[in-house]
A and B are shown apart, each in its own frame.
Chain A
């Protein structure tokens, strides 16, 4: 390759794709998070680590506290939850707040769909969810219901199944988790979970 060609190609290369306007640096000592949750916390299905971008800081903080206190992730069948619990165990309250704040600043595109469910059946089912999570899955802080419409569809399926099967939301001190466990009684099967996730995924 000639030098001129190289220079030209480098110039072209920088125009070849859109560089994201803003990248948020990983706070010092938290590069562990991006190993599993990916660049800009975009999520990684292979590790079972969900996209965190778009989640509200209050929700992230609550879940990190739940992991830390063993309210979430301690059920032996919740494998990824168990892995997460270990990561959070030694974090201080300040670090947890820092992470929650960082999550809101990350920039990643909405993930691609991976689940094929029946969107119409999912829509019907979602009506009972909407009262807390909102018509568009936008979440409701006052009710403690997280935003859903930026999550990976496979992650929604996993968590719906975990609530349904009692792997999440069974700890008595996990008030919101218990509420969700009760609410998840409309989800009766893997299929229901897939339908619901398919519908929630496309909400904006």
Chain B
């Protein structure tokens, strides 16, 4: 065979055999994913006249999906939920809703309007999260596009450009221009001559000129791609003065604002259920025969020879339920406080999952002032403690809006907010946002704060695992312990996403199929791991 690259080869195949030949060849070469998602696990249906039983602990997304799939396969399910509400971290709050923070419960004071709500947990769905999209489709949860990025939003670095915010489009354009200038210069100085032909170097220079909007002699002097200081409709455009290379390097813009929309999970367009993310929870509840038992705190989980026995407390009385199988969606770090007869190594594996601390603020704004600044949806990024500001892309031009006023992943900032009273959190959040939107505070009517590390029955979000835990313990937690299966986003590589929760459920149900088969082969003998 001639010395050609794989891509050249595919071009030839495509030309000769059409796109289906190309697809088949690509599969053989391992370039595209082999199988598309085909829906939930086919659980081996219960035999005629049999009614196998399952206990689901925790009515979060993984628990609800597991229960639904089991019910449809003929299982009789009981769902226990410790909180007063189902949904777990899929929490949308509206007027009058209770936010159950440990020691600092709040009531949401948003006006009573359909468009005034806040998704405290999951808030966006990318197009490749096929599991959650499957359920949105089959549970009749209408979706709409959610603008997760706006180039009109701002980047703000307290230590850069005198702390003045800059439109993301200006940064993007300047960064491209400055990088292209460096590329052009290096090419002009024969830096690539060793591995590129003269012709290719010329192409590279031409590319960098176009990519960065450089002058004929390879200089970046600003670009009208980032707007104009004049009214572009009536005058010739005059680009903004670009930032200098040194200033760009000294800023920490590269991560948040620059790459925020470049990550796979945030690649545009994203989606959100119309009217709030809890439409997903409501969808599950509509379809489930069994409704979750609320305010039911699990106290004991015991594997027995042929099933699982769970004791819970509800309103001061204890109840014990037995079932053939148990799917446990309780945060793993709570398990040390729940009596069980698990293997010591399994309990150690459960202990290895650590609480993650994420924090959000949402304000009700009496006017959608950001829209008059050209921002319709998307995110501003700041190095300040609030981290991000999200602008709603639903209900544009409405009078009021709910603005995400803080979303912190940074441990220090989160700890600072967690320690404050609710009122002080709102004040600190507003003071920091003033640096991006002067006059911000005067639009605030009320607000809520969600410290996930302090929310009752969750006490964390975005579970953390140390590096060695992935090797030592994670595979163990993906397998059943007796007839007990751990589920939830915690048992996935995608903690903090509903897709991770659903993947864990799918994985556990595949394990169930194996276990059922094994038990059938053993004719009811107990399963030894």
- A contact set with B: CB distance below 8 Å: 1-3, 5-6, 9-10, 12-14, 16-17, 23, 25-28, 31-32, 34-40, 42-47, 49, 76, 79, 82-83, 86-90
Contacts and interface: CB of A to CB of B under 8 A. Distances in A.
Interface in B319-357: 322, 324, 333-334, 336-339, 341, 351, 354-355
Contacts of A37: 337
Contacts of B338: 38-39
B337 A43 contact: yes
A46 B334 contact: yes
Contacts of A1: 50, 52, 306, 324, 524
Contacts of A34: 297, 299, 313, 337
A89 B103 contact: yes
B300 A39 contact: yes
25 contacts: A1-B306, A2-B50, A6-B324, A9-B305, A9-B306, A10-B307, A16-B302, A16-B309, A17-B304, A25-B318, A32-B456, A34-B297, A34-B299, A34-B313, A34-B337, A35-B297, A35-B459, A38-B337, A39-B337, A40-B339, A42-B337, A43-B336, A83-B103, A86-B454, A88-B103
B337 A36 contact: yes
Contact of B103 (A13, A27, A79, A86): A86
Contacts of B457: 35
Interface string B464-487: 000000000000000000000000
Interface of B: 50, 52, 82, 102-104, 295, 297, 299-300, 302, 304-307, 309, 313, 315-318, 322, 324, 333-334, 336-339, 341, 351, 354-355, 415, 419, 454, 456-457, 459, 524
B336 A17 contact: no
Contacts of B300: 39
B307 A9 contact: yes
A34 B318 CA distance: 14
Nearest to A20: B339
Contact of B305 (A12, A46, A86): A12
Contact of B306 (A12, A45, A79, A83): A12
A5 B103 CA distance: 47
A23 B322 contact: no
| 10 shortest interchain CB distances as A-B pairs | A38-B337, A9-B306, A44-B337, A13-B304, A46-B333, A86-B103, A39-B299, A25-B316, A87-B103, A16-B304
B351 A45 contact: yes
Contacts of A40: 299, 339
Given A10-B322, A47-B337, A87 B307 contact: no
Contacts of A6: 306, 324
A35 B104 contact: no
A25 B317 contact: yes
Contacts of A90: 103
Contacts of A31: 295, 297, 313
A82 B417 CA distance: 13
Contacts of A89: 103
